[in-house]
Structure 1
């Protein structure tokens, strides 16, 4: 939901020459609609699932935790890797996210340079090395 962090992440992925299409949505409701091809995304081919979802927990309309429940309970989206990027370092969020089926939980670094390094590593691993279903 933070446009500056979204732009930084896209920039970091581009620096790693990640050539996949990148879609940024502004809140949990839009993310749900995008993934399930509903609302403004009804024309999107729902069979073309994202290779990766980078997800903040603190989202307007539908929270990140609620979105994880939706993603992991739907047969069409449950195998998409979900990487949580959050400022929440409390164990309750970490445990709940893994219980719901996220693939990775990363607490966002505060510094700009650390954030760029982290985003590059995420992109390289999940888009270049990891094999998805």
Structure 2
């Protein structure tokens, strides 16, 4: 009797953990996740945009290259919106509003991202200034010693 109760309790504890994983695989992919648009020009626009968008699950691949289900959903959104007449810039703006700046491989300068562009330039200028001062000081020291 104790084993049966223990097995039942364990099954009840494990089932909620397995549910989301099983449910995700049972959903069919979105229609345009793996199917290209019939119009080659529209598909070229969609493909170019998809190569500039980051897969949020993989993080090192574009949504064009990723096999993650989320990337498939994002490809579907891009193709559906291109087919509906939206421009790539409008779609990028919508995805950034939905997922944040991180989704784009081509970040825009904004109130939150400007330090990412300015700080590296400042560091390079500081290092160059320090090196020039040290080299200048070394040359004057060599000149005095001769």
Aligning the two structures, in what range does the TM-score lie when normalised by the shorter sequence? under 0.3
TM-score normalized by the length of structure 2:
0.23
TM-score normalized by the length of structure 1:
0.24
Higher CA-based Rg:
2
Determine which structure has greater relative contact order: mean sequence separation of CA pairs < 8 Å that are 6+ residues apart, divided by chain length. Answer: 1
Bigger fraction of residues in strand: 1
